[in-house]
Every structure is written in C-alpha cells, then in structure tokens.
Amino acid sequence: MLLMAKSPCDKWTPVVVETAALEAYWSRGNYWPSYRALPECYWFDHFYGPQPAMFNLGTAYFESNFESNGPALSFTSGRHRTRWMLERGAQNVVLALSKNTVDAAAAAGLVSRTLQEKEWFELGFVVESHAMAHRNHPGPTCEQCRPAIPELRSGSYSPLRNR
C-alpha cells in the first residue's frame, strides 16, 4: 500500500530504516515491546474512500550514547505505530528522525535512505478498512467520524481526556 510520509514539522526528516537495525537500536532506548491492537485513525490523514493517503510519522532521536548503553533510538511519539508496523511484518519502517541526528543514525547503519516530505513510500501491507482502523474511539482528525460524535462536532475532543 502506497502512503505519503508526513512529518510533524521541519525539524524532522522522514527516513526509511530496516527492522533489524531498528529493533537493535530501539531496545537500548525507550523500547515498546508489543502492540497487538488495530491502528489508530489519527495516524493517517487525507482519506479517499476507505483508504488513507498520508501517514503521520512517529518521531525519534538517535542518541550516540544513551545512558552509557551506547547508540540508541528514543521516540518522542510514534512508538505504537512503529510497533504496529513491525508486528504486521514490515521489512522497512518509515519514521521521522530529528534533523540533527540523521547523519549519526546513517553512519551507524540505522537509516537505509531519507525521504522528502510528502514522498510516497510502500507500507508493505494494506491498512484495515476505515471502520476497522478505529479502536474504542474515532480519531480527532477523521472527517468521516466527526459528524457522528458530539465531542468531535463541538471541537471539545481531547485524545487524553476522551480515552
């Protein structure tokens, strides 16, 4: 499934990483060992029918000496979506690295290649239909769900408050 990479802002660079290197460096950082749920709607954007066109990337820092454990990958957001991709069998994962850590991550063998903002990439599997992408609540950015949920219509939805 083709998706467009979307970073939260210009301080992040979209990159492709191989899963073996990702697991090795992530295990030294703020590791997230398992995520056995469906994807969250807010991970995606720009729905055309039941399928999304854009993937909101998780963000991470590559640290050359994390708490004296050596090089590590630490996420600021996106641990769940990254783990979800891994558990679906993705051979490569796309995430956004801090611009000032991309060169060190590439030198350490973590980065396979960099992407341009909004460049298309192959996810490696098909995302469940839109209805299946919701767990217990719709995402705040989902235009298909907004009319059905009072909190979304009124603009008072908060992912933290409404979980």
Task: Print pLDDT tens along the chain (163 aa).
Answer: 788 888 888 899 999 998 999 998 998 877 877 776 667 777 877 665 556 678 889 999 998 876 667 788 989 998 988 988 888 888 889 999 999 999 999 999 999 999 998 888 888 877 765 444 454 444 545 555 544 444 444 444 444 333 3
In a domain, 25, yes or no: yes
Helix (H) or strand (E) holding 63: strand 59-63
In a domain, 72, yes or no: yes
The domain of 87 spans 2-137
Total number of domains constituting the chain: 1
In a domain, 151, yes or no: no
In a domain, 163, yes or no: no
In a domain, 150, yes or no: no
In a domain, 115, yes or no: yes
pLDDT at 52: 66
3-state SS class at 153? helix
- Max CA pair span of the chain: 50
In a domain, 98, yes or no: yes
If we measure between CA atoms, which residue out of 136, 157, 149 comes closest to residue 41?
Answer: 136
In a domain, 156, yes or no: no
If we measure between CA atoms, which residue out of 82, 148, 100 comes closest to residue 139?
Answer: 148
